Amino acid sequence: MTQSTSNTAQYFLVGRSIGSTQNALALTGDYLSAAAFLGSIAMYFGQGMDSLFYAVATLIGWVLLLILFSDKLRQTEAFTFSDVINRGFNSQRLKVLSASTSLLISIFYLLVQLVGAGALLSLLFGINYTVSLLCVGVLTGVLVLFGGMKATTMVQSIKALLLFLFAGVMTFLVLKSFDFSVAPLFERVADLSNFNALMPSPAISLGIEQVSLILGLSLGLLGLPHILMRFFTVKDEKTALYSAAGATFLIAIFFTLNLLIGFGAFILLNGQTLDGGNNMVLLHLARLLGGSGFQWVLAILVFITVLAVIAGLVMAASASITQDLIPVLLPKQRSNLVIAKLSVVAIFLSGVGLAYLFREVNIAFLFGIAFAWVASAHFPVMFCRFYFKGFNERGAFYSLLIGSLGSLIFIISSNTVWVNIFGFSELHPYRSPTLFVLPFSFLIIWLLGDRKKTS
């Protein structure tokens, strides 16, 4: 291993030296973004049981990740998603396509986090949204540029512990309001909503929509670049397996706490007009139960959460550029630490610019794009890479291409974009593309697969 490669491996993967406990905490911190906390509580408050669909679906994804991929990912000795599916092929077109989809997915997530962080700072301190974005960019940029994955892992681990501490305190305060009995809490929810909050909302009332949503959220998790990258930072397959098991257990606990906090907010804040909209429900609940000081503690914690998730996303995006795109597009230029850090700056600049342009776009919609894209494009290729003997370069390339384009076309033609943004007549009633696109992605791999290997 050259000095340049060694330095890059240390920067991105900490020399593959992260232990199972710390990696489990970092995986938990990587996944539990501000949206997983603020967004989940806001959905319980505004759409009731819909939030539980999201929680259960993503938890299924963690279980599948543990069973299907956790140890196999580490066996590949890879740096990125592109490395995993291209191992043994050395295909430039597959490397460029898979790196490009990984980069775009990471940027979607980065955009969502930057929009949320910018809005939070602007609301708390009364500063301009653009100034807020620049502050977030500078703070996280310093963390990533000078600390790399080692510093990112440490921040994510600490952030996960702080989130659990705060969620535990919030749950205690909510249950205290109901004499530490869960039954009266749900009875009150039923009374206030005429049982509507305990049923799926009109947004996911169709059975097909529910199946497609659950598929997208469950399988989408299994191909997220910044989550997969965590399995490349540990020393062996056993450590990777324990990391995934630990993260699955921790996230299950966190979602349970969210359920109680969310319905507590539904009752205690019922009928109130909230500054900052529903996304700020948790901040208002913290103020109601613990006072303004407690609210500020939560705001600081949410901000740390956003910084940590942004750091992980930027590391994954930078790895895609440095390890996958640069060697193909500039073959004479060796990927090294300088290029890695320059790519970090470029990613931040593009992310801040996009966050400024898309500051009014629905955040949940952007998350939906990323999950649907991953479930329909990344997951089939990943699954067949490990479990289909006839898997080959041609099937991988065209499956990834069809999955990506199919998801994009479906999302554009949905009511979310076609009707609400473009103002055209409805083409179809469905919002989540996974159920409709995923089968074609698998079919392409099977049709173009190597028949000799499968016989």
pLDDT digits (tens, 9 = 90+) for 75-134: 877 778 888 888 888 888 998 898 888 888 877 777 777 777 777 777 667 777 778 778
**Closest Cα to residue 382, out of 60, 82, 30, 62?**
82
Contacts of 168 (CB under 8 A, 6+ apart): 257
- Angle CA(411)–CA(415)–CA(421) in degrees, nearest 5? 90
User: So what's the pLDDT on residue 359?
Assistant: 66
Alpha carbon distance 248, 260 (integer Å) = 19
User: So what's the pLDDT on residue 77?
Assistant: 73
Write out the CATH class of domain 14-360.
mainly alpha
More confident position, 343 or 145:
343
Alpha carbon distance 65, 231 (integer Å) = 11
The model's pTM is 0.80
**Closest Cα to residue 244, out of 33, 39, 426, 74?**
74
And the tokens for 303?
């901000």
User: So what's the pLDDT on residue 399?
Assistant: 95
3-class state of residue 18 by DSSP: strand
Alpha carbon distance 159, 166 (integer Å) = 10
Alpha carbon distance 247, 291 (integer Å) = 32
**Closest Cα to residue 225, out of 78, 445, 387, 118?**
78
DSSP of 201-256: -GGG-SHHHHHHHHHHHHHHHTT-HHHHGGGGSBSSHHHHHHHHHHHHHHHHHHHH
- Provide, rounded to the nearest whole percent, the portion of the chain with pLDDT above 90: 14
Note the pLDDT tens digit of each residue in 419-451: 876 778 888 887 778 889 999 999 999 999 886
Return the amino acid letter for 362.
N
And the tokens for 110?
């980065």
Q: Please provide the size of the chain in residues.
A: 455
Alpha carbon distance 190, 198 (integer Å) = 7
Distances in Å between the Cα of 44 and the Cα atoms of 35, 263, 269, 433 are 13, 6, 12, 24
**DSSP 8-state assignment for residue 362:** -
Distances in Å between the Cα of 352 and the Cα atoms of 113, 124, 137, 156, 345 are 10, 19, 7, 21, 11
**DSSP 8-state assignment for residue 445:** H
Note the pLDDT tens digit of each residue in 261-317: 999 999 998 877 777 667 778 888 988 998 888 888 887 777 777 777 777 777 777
Query: What is the radius of gyration, based on Cα positions, of the chain?
Result: 22
| Torsions phi, psi for 389 (to 5 deg) | -65, -30
User: So what's the pLDDT on residue 15?
Assistant: 63
